[in-house]
Structure 1
Amino acid sequence: MLLMLDLNDPRPLHEQVTAAIRRAIAGGEVAPGDRLPPARDLAGALGVNANTVLRSLRALRDEGLLEFRRGRGVSVLRRPDPREALRDRARGLLEEAAKYGLGPDEVADLIKELS
C-alpha cells in the first residue's frame, strides 16, 4: 500500500493520513478483509509519528471502515461510501459559502458553471 502526503496541505497530519488510507481503501489498493501494515511501518513510510497514524486508524475504525483485532492487527471491514464522503465535503462547502453570504442555490449554480 503506497500512501503519499502533501507537505503543502494545510490540514493536520492526522487528517491527511486518514484521507490517504481512506483513498487506498476506496481505490481498491486494500480490499475488505485485508490487513493493514502495522502503524509503526505506516508511520515510517509516511515520515510521521506512530501516534499520528494510530489516531487516523482510530478515526477510520469509528467510521466503520476498519476493525481492530487483538493479535491480528487492523483489517479493512468495508469500502467507504463515496456519497457519504461527498456529503461531508458538500456540508463543509455550504458552511464555507455561508460565511461569504452565499446560499445553497448559489453554490449549486457555481457547481453547474464548473461542470
Structure 2
Amino acid sequence: MLLTLDLNDPRPLHEQVTAAIRRAIAQGDVAPGDRLPPARDLADAMGVNANTVLRSLRDLRDEGLLEFRRGRGVSVLRRPDPREALRERARDLLDEAARYGLGPDEVVDLIKDMS
C-alpha cells in the first residue's frame, strides 16, 4: 500500500493521512478483511508522526471503515461509499483549482468541455 502526501496541501496532516488511507481502500489497494500495516510503519512511509496516523485510523474507525482488534491490528471492514470517495476527490480538485485561482464554476466548465 503506497500512500503519499502533498506537501503543498493546506489541510492538516491528519486529514491528509485520513484521505490517503480512505482513497487506498476505495481504490481497492486494501480490501475488506485485509489488515493494515502497523501505524508506525505507515507513519514512516508517509514521513509523519505515528500519533498522526493513529488519529487518522481512529477517524476511519469512527466512519465504520476500519476495525481495531486487540492483538490482531487494524482491519478494513468495508469500502467507503463511492459517492463519498468521489466527493473527497472533488473536494481535492476544487482545492487545487483554487490554488490556481479558478472557482467551482470554472472547474465545472472544464469538466463539461472534457465530455
Scaled by the length of structure 2, what TM-score is found?
A: 0.77
Write the letter of the residue equivalent to 2:16.
Q
Q: Work out which of the two has the higher radius of gyration on C-alpha atoms and give 1 or 2.
A: 1
> How many Å separate the matches in 2 of 1:75 and 1:2?
17
Q: Does 1:81 align with 2:81?
A: yes
In the alignment, structure 2 segments of 5+ residues that lack a partner are 95-103
Partners in 1 of 2:44 and 2:87 — Cα distance?
32
Could you tell me how far 1:82 is from its partner in structure 2? Answer: 1.7
CA shift for structure 1 position 55: 0.4
SS of the residue aligned with 2:75? strand
User: What is the CA–CA distance in structure 2 between the aligned matches of 1:87 and 1:5, rounded to whole Å?
Assistant: 18
Find the counterpart in structure 2 of residue 111 from structure 1. 108
Change (3 A) 1:21 1:89: closer
The residue that corresponds to 2:15 in the other structure is: 15
Give the deviation of 1:37 after TM superposition: 0.3
User: What SS does the aligned partner of 1:74 have?
Assistant: strand
Find the counterpart in structure 2 of residue 53 from structure 1. Answer: 53
4+ long deviations beyond 6 Å: 88-91
Q: Whole-Å Cα distance in 2 between the matches of residues 44 and 37 of structure 1?
A: 11
Code of the residue aligned with 2:43 in structure 1: it is A
Query: Scaled by the length of structure 1, what TM-score is found?
Result: 0.77
Q: What do the CA deviations read for 1:40-84 (whole angstroms, capped 9, x no partner)?
A: 010011110000000000000000000000000000000000213
* Percent identity of paired positions between Structure 1 and Structure 2: 85
Aligned match of 1:25: 25
- Which whole-Å CA distance do the structure 2 matches of 1:68 and 1:111 have between them? 40
Q: Distance in 1 between matches of 2:8 and 2:110?
A: 28
Gap regions ≥5 residues in structure 1 = 94-106
Q: How far off its partner does 1:85 sit?
A: 4.1
Q: What RMSD in Å do the two structures reach over aligned CA positions?
A: 2.3
